[in-house]
Amino acid sequence: MLPKRATNAMRHLPPCGGGREGGQPRPGFPVTLFILRRLLTFAATLFVAALIIFILLDLLPGDPARFILGINASEASVAALRTQMGLDAPAHERFFGWIAGMVRGDFGISATQRVAIGGLIAERMAVTLPLTMMAMVLSMLIGLPLGIVAAMRRGKPADTGLMILAQTGIAIPNFWFGMLLTLVFAVALRWLPTGGFTPWHENPGAAFRGLILPGLALALPQASILARVMRTALVDVTGQDFIRTARAKGLTRSEAIWRHGLRNAFLPVLTILGLQFAFLIAGTIIVENVFYLPGLGRLIFTAVSERDLTLVRSATIVLVLAVTATMFITDLLYTLVDPRLRRQNA
Amino acid sequence: MALVEIDKLNISFDGRAAVSDLSLSIEKGESFGIIGESGSGKSLTALAIAGLLPDNAKVSGSIRFEGAPLPGDERAMARLRGRHFGMVFQEPMTALNPLMKIGEQIGEAAELSQSGADIASLIAEVGLLPDHAGRFPHQLSGGQRQRAMIAMALASAPDLLIADEPTSALDTITQALVLDLIAEICARRGMTLLFISHDMRAVAALCTRIGVMRTGQLVETGETQAVLRAPKAEYTRKLVAASRMERRATDRLHGDPLLEVEQVSREYGQGGFWPWGRTTLRAVDKVSLTIAQGECVALVGPSGCGKTTLARMIVGLDNVSAGQMRLDGQAYRGRDLPPLLRAGLSLVFQDPFSSFDPGMTIGQSLAEPLHLLGNLSSAERATRLHDAIMSVGLDPAMLDRYPHEFSGGQRQRLAIARAMVTRPRLVVLDEPVSALDVSVRGEVLNLLARLQAEHGLTFLIISHDLDMVAAMADRVLVMEAGRIVEEGKPADLFAHPQHALTKALMAAQLPDITETSW
Amino acid sequence: MNWQRLLRHPSLVIGLGAATAFALLGLISLVWTPYPIEQIVVARRFLGPDPAHWLGTDHLGRDMLSLVMSGTLTSFLVAFSALVIGVGIGVPMGLAAAAWGGAVEWLVLRISDVTFAFPSVVIAILIATLAGPGELNAILAIGIFNIPVFARVARGGALAVATQDYVAAGRLAGLGNAAIAARHLLPNIASLIIVQATIQLSLGILAEAGLSYIGLGTQAPATSLGLMLRDSQSLFLIHPWLGIVPGLTIVLIVIALNIAGDGLRDALDPRLRREGLNHGAG
């Protein structure tokens, strides 16, 4: 028989539904407010970044108009170009003019190419963006399953082998890997083109084939990182109490990891995914050079060497925008996956 | 036939034995308790029964459930524990999946065991409200989470409920409620209980038979009353003695007021992005109190009542929002406490393991408060350190060693030595023994009582442990929701509690181990 | 620190040993290389490995081993200088955020946000536009990128340490924020910083290679591993060797540093495994 305790603390207390026990969790505020907050941080970061870019390029000694027209141009034509480029206005007017223009979708006119910068960037993004996406998808398709397999077989030969592979993958510079891929698949096997790009509207199939090798080159190091992160996250989660609880309910270890561990392990992976997208965008700029792809990177390099500052300015802010936006979206996804964040003020 | 039979169980990690030669049997329908201090192997024993030991554990011996040995196959073992065992763990926050709703987690247990249990009735059975099923673990309080854990354990309609320190993460009142719930459910369902705890009173209140474990060995088993009234093993005798608190305070003459707290409030802004959306939480609400020279005052109350916040302001770790404090007549508002005044009070922390910087020697840590006294000569510093460490009964050679070389009890003595090094007048003790093993608590309390007598110290003890308070304090203040709701001498206050909270705290006190009767 | 305990971790010994060997190889190039790296002898170009030129010669007849030695030094110097910038600015920022909190913390976090928005390539592009390409450009670009990484690691570690009672004990002893940060926070996050430093060093070497490859980093006549790859690009399909040598050198150095980092993490503190997730930051 079970002993019946002499005292009954319940008598003196309201029913436990009232939250008497150890204090009620703190009231939070709704999801929309959280999103609004992140949106504000996002916008503020972007604004400060734009300001930095503007100041840096504005500080540049020398006269861009003079640079474009050459040393032999007359004072009058330089002055005319300055007015045309809007260089006469005070700095703050030019800054806010630039921002206001971008909000409307007007990025200004390229000084050297004499066409709308918005169109130029859009044209180049048609190469850079699909390439980044492809690399992202490839790295997830390769990295995540391998990370899961390694974690499930922790300490076994498969795990060791995969982690040695990942260790190597992380150490390989993506552009060099691109060079090696060209050597094997384009020169030796002749499966794919060595470089260059057929525009999408001419031949979508050829355009896609042109992106396969650069995509792989970008994806491999990222996949290695992802595999390591996924493995670490899953191994960490496996040691947590709720996995033991799940096993106590009647699940085997791998069933428990599968049902309860994976979603929890995905949280740290999500952070890395956000960062990776940002770094892939930067990585494409380098890898484009290996494959002679007409992407955003090559546009920027041309602009830098021709000192087309308006173009450099707008192209870099687009890159910064892509990075910041990715971070913002990662934050939102985080709140979607983790209910604890939905009611927090952090 | 016994439900669980353990025969010569050995568990070791990397060659170090954690449980050795343990044999016991648990009869169907009984409630069996295992008592032991940290590291005694009691939890490992429970995990071994459920087949949940860590992978690196080496196990030998046999465990039989309903006469059959536990299956070696992982899947078969998993299904067996799913159908026949229910488990409740210590820390309900980490034991629940943070991304899944409570109802789903309970439902999963029911589904896996194919018990056909109804989730709504389970939730009602453990005293939760229907809408709790739709909540995530972080949206429940500690006690509610533990109730959810119990519902999950019951979902399979188990034969054996294994509860491993189910209440040690909860406050006193909640602890009593959860223990009541476990007792009631076991009785109603005729379920066998294996209850594991370091808390002798909890085990005594809940179990008919007990086993006492120490460093991996079962030192004694028997009927609860028989073991506790007439312990055979030396260790059990020591534990029983340590669980009784004798009054250490003597009636003393008290001097002039040393600390005066005048209408002190502390507010925290929260939820604040938009200034107008901010709510303020008043952790301490217009508290006034006076402590006389040489007095020992205890501040008790449930977790979250504001007692720790108040203590932090008194010692100068936090600022008041309104009101002021006076130490020896000098007014201060918290962090503005001037160095010389700061030297006049000190704080002993609850957790002896985090109160020393692991990278510094004990001597360096102990000397830290000395610079409050200005430039002392190195001889003077050495004398101070020497005196302080001698006063807590430890060896001055320990000053050159590092914190990890010491046990919890020793560290708490060293923490007291650090508090004594500036020769303060007021010492604030934040749960000074609750993180220590039962067997060393008494020694630390004796030390504190001796220091108080020898140096004429004034103590402010923050605690939820009414026994300890009754043993130490001259006066008790009861705090709830930021206010002091009752005050008096411990004997009077505990004999005739007036306020509802004091009554609840008294009611939640588990009966003395040998007084339990049924 | 207990060196004998550290030496018990084989991966640490191997990784650190290999990385040190490469660093020494680079340092030797300061006083001696098999052949002067500026020496252009067209007659002996595109030689394969032979006893006179262990790693062959490049398209200008320069000795590849000499180039690799000198290039390794540049790569290490750039990555290390960038590391000094990152640690020197980022760690104090992170510590300040944790010790002062409030407005200081807010500011540090916002500065990190903005800095994170600029990938190192973008910083390098902006600096190159301003001041032209060069080693210093690469150091600054990678260094600035390192700042928020260390600021976040230091802040995260310090916040965890700050909850410990010994920090409160320090405050009770009258220590101010700066003293708390120096006496208690910094020593207890040192291992975290060291581990992150090996990671950032290896990322720095990769980043230097990338920047030099696209012409924003090291410029001739100096050389770096990235610049060697740039030189080899047009000839790579005909003379792959020219690209394989510097590429493999980079891979080996980075693997050595990463293994050393993993070993350090295990040796210094098993709790750090979690923070190791920052590895994705590149």
Does the pLDDT of residue C276 top 80, yes or no? no
A43 at interface of C, judged by CB pairs closer than 8 A? no
C183 in a structural domain: yes
How does strand B483-488 pair with strand B475-480? antiparallel
Helices A241-248 and B142-154: crossing angle in degrees, nearest 10, is: 30
Chain C residue closest in CA terms to B371: C173
Judged against a pLDDT cut of 70, whether residue C6 lies above it is answered with no
- Does residue C273 surpass a pLDDT of 50? no
User: Distance from first CA to last CA of chain B, Å, rounded?
Assistant: 25
Q: What are phi and psi of B477, to 5 degrees?
A: -115, 135
**Among chain B residues, CA nearest to C171:** B317
Report the range out of A83-97, C150-164, C220-234 with the highest average pLDDT: C150-164
Query: Is A133 in the C-facing interface, judged by CB distances under 8 Å?
Result: no
* B421 CA: distance to closest CA in chain C (Å): 11
> Does the CB of C271 have a partner CB in chain A at under 8 Å?
no
Shortest CA distance from A24: residue in chain B: B141
- Is C277 part of any domain? no
From chain B, the residues in CB contact with C183 under 8 A are: 357
Q: Is A15 on the interface with B (CB under 8 A)?
A: yes
Q: pLDDT by residue (tens digit) across B231-260?
A: 899 999 888 888 777 777 666 667 889 999
Query: What are A153-189's pLDDT values in tens digits?
Result: 888 899 999 999 998 999 999 999 998 998 888 887 8
On whether residue C254 sits in a domain, the answer given is yes
Work out the minimum CA distance from A306 to partner chain C, whole angstroms: 10
Identify all chain A residues contacting C11, using CB atoms and an 8 Å cutoff. none
* 8 A C-beta contact, residue B34 and residue B221: no
Q: Does C270 touch chain A (CB under 8 A)?
A: no
pLDDT of residue B88: 92
**Does a structural domain hold residue C49?**
no
Suggest the residue from C195, C239, C251, C259 to mutate for an interface test with chain A (most A CBs closer than 10 A): C251
Q: Are A274 and A216 contacting, i.e. CB atoms less than 8 angstroms apart?
A: no
Domains and CATH numbers, chain B: 2-241 (3.40.50.300), 251-344+425-509 (3.40.50.300), 351-423 (no CATH)
Q: What's the start-to-end Cα distance of chain A, in Å?
A: 51
Q: Which residues, other chains included, contact A17 with Cβ-Cβ below 8 Å and sequence gap of 6+? A: B127, B128, B129, B132
* Nearest residue to A283 via CA among A128, A158, A153, A85: A128
Which of C210, C276, C281 faces A275 most closely, judged by CB atoms?
Answer: C281
DSSP one-letter string for C19-86: HHHHHHHHHHHHH--SS-TT---GGGTT--S-SSSTT-B-TT--BHHHHHHHHHHHHHHHHHHHHHHI
The answer to whether the Cβ–Cβ distance between C173 and B351 falls below 8 Å is: no
Rounded distance between C-alpha atoms, residue C17 and residue C3, angstroms: 14
pLDDT in tens, C13-37: 888 898 999 999 888 888 888 878 7
Q: Which of A46, A167, A282 sits opposite C255 (nearest CB)?
A: A167
Identify the domain containing residue C261 by its residue range: 75-269
Contact B316 C187 (CB under 8 A): no
pLDDT of residue B398: 92
The answer on pLDDT for C281 being more than 60 is: no
Residue A28: which pLDDT band, with cuts at 50, 70 and 90?
very low
With beta carbons less than 8 A apart as the criterion, state whether C226 and C219 touch.
Answer: no
Chain B residue whose CA is closest to A23 = B141
**Contact at CB, B156 and A345, closer than 8 angstroms:** no
Which residues from A are below 8 Å from B89, CB to CB?
Answer: 241, 244-245
SS3 of B89, please?
coil
For residue A271, is pLDDT > 60? yes
Query: B58 pairs with which residues across the strands?
Result: B12
Please give the pLDDT value at position B259: 93
ipTM score of complex: 0.85
Q: Using CA atoms, how far apart are residues A48 and A43, in angstroms rounded to an integer? A: 9
Distances in whole angstroms, Cα of residue B227 to Cα of each of B221, B222, B437 = 7, 6, 20
- C41–chain A Cβ distance below 8 A for any pair: no
In a mutational test of the A interface, the residue from C113, C202, C233 whose CB has the highest number of chain A CBs within 10 Å is C113
Of B288, B282, B254, B291, which is closest to residue B456 (Cα–Cα)?
Answer: B254
Q: How far apart are CA A121 and CA A29, in angstroms?
A: 40
| CATH code of domain A119-344 | 1.10.3720.10
Can you tell me the mean pLDDT for C226-244?
Answer: 84
Token couple for B455: 């140096």
Over 60: is that where the pLDDT of A115 sits? yes
What are the residues facing B64 on neighbouring strands? B5, B69
Q: Which chain A residues touch C266 with a CB distance below 8 Å?
A: none
Query: Chain C residue closest to A61 (CA)?
Result: C130
Domain residue ranges of chain A, discontinuous segments joined by + = 61-106, 119-344
Residues of chain C with a CB closer than 8 angstroms to some CB in chain B: 164-166, 168-175, 183-184, 187-188
CB contact under 8 A, B357 and C184: yes
Instruction: Compute the nearest-CA separation of C258 from chain B (Å).
Output: 27
pLDDT digits over C168-209, tens only? 999 999 899 999 999 999 999 998 899 899 989 999 999 999
Report pLDDT digits (tens) over B372-420. Answer: 988 889 999 999 999 999 999 999 999 999 998 898 889 999 999 999 9
Q: Which residues of B touch A3 (CB under 8 A)?
A: 183, 205-208, 516, 518
Residue B233 Cα, gap to closest chain A Cα (Å) = 24
Record: contact B358-C188, CB cut-off 8 A: yes
Contact present, A39 and A52 (Cβ < 8 Å): no
The answer to whether C1 and C191 have CB atoms below 8 angstroms apart is: no
Q: Determine the Cα–Cα distance for residues B363 and B374; give it in Å rounded to an integer.
A: 18
A240 touches chain C (CB under 8 A): no
What DSSP state is assigned to residue C274?
G
In chain A, which residues have their Cβ closer than 8 Å to the Cβ of B143? 16, 20-22
- CB–CB of B346 and C174 under 8 A? no
Cβ-defined contact of A319 to C210 (cutoff 8 Å): no
Q: Which residues contact B200 (CB under 8 A, 6 or more apart)?
A: B35, B228, B239, B240, B243, B438, B513
Strand B257-270: give its sheet, edge to edge.
Answer: B279-292, B257-270, B322-327, B330-332
* CB burial of residue B302 (10 Å; 0-12, 13-18, 19+): buried
Q: Using alpha carbons, list the distances in angstroms from residue A111 to A79, A118, A304.
A: 14, 13, 12
Q: pLDDT tens digits for B128-176?
A: 999 999 999 988 888 899 999 999 999 989 999 999 998 887 888 888 8
> Does C12 fall in a domain?
no
- Is B372 part of the contact surface with chain C (CB cutoff 8 Å)? yes
Rounded mean pLDDT of chain C? Answer: 85
CB contact under 8 A, C169 and B368: yes
CA proximity to C225, closest of C198, C207, C201, C199: C207
**DSSP conformation class of A86:** T
Which residues of A fall within a CB distance of 8 Å from B270?
Answer: 26, 345
Task: List the CATH number of the domain containing C155.
Answer: 1.10.3720.10
Mean pLDDT, range A301-322, rounded to an integer? 87
- pLDDT tens digits for range B67-86: 899 998 889 999 999 999 99
Whole-prediction pTM: 0.86
B219-228 long-range contacts (CB < 8 A, ≥24 apart) are B221/B24, B224/B33, B224/B516, B225/B514, B225/B516, B228/B200, B228/B204, B228/B513, B228/B514
How many folded domains does chain C comprise?
1
Q: Is C36 a member of any domain?
A: no
In a domain, C50, yes or no: no
Residue C112 inside a domain? The answer is yes
Tell me what pLDDT residue B276 has.
53
Alpha-carbon distance of B460 to B347, in angstroms, equals 9
Chain A contact present for C214, CB below 8 A: yes
Task: Tell if the CB–CB gap between A301 and C122 is shorter than 8 Å.
Answer: no
> Would an 8 Å CB–CB cutoff place B277 in contact with chain C?
no
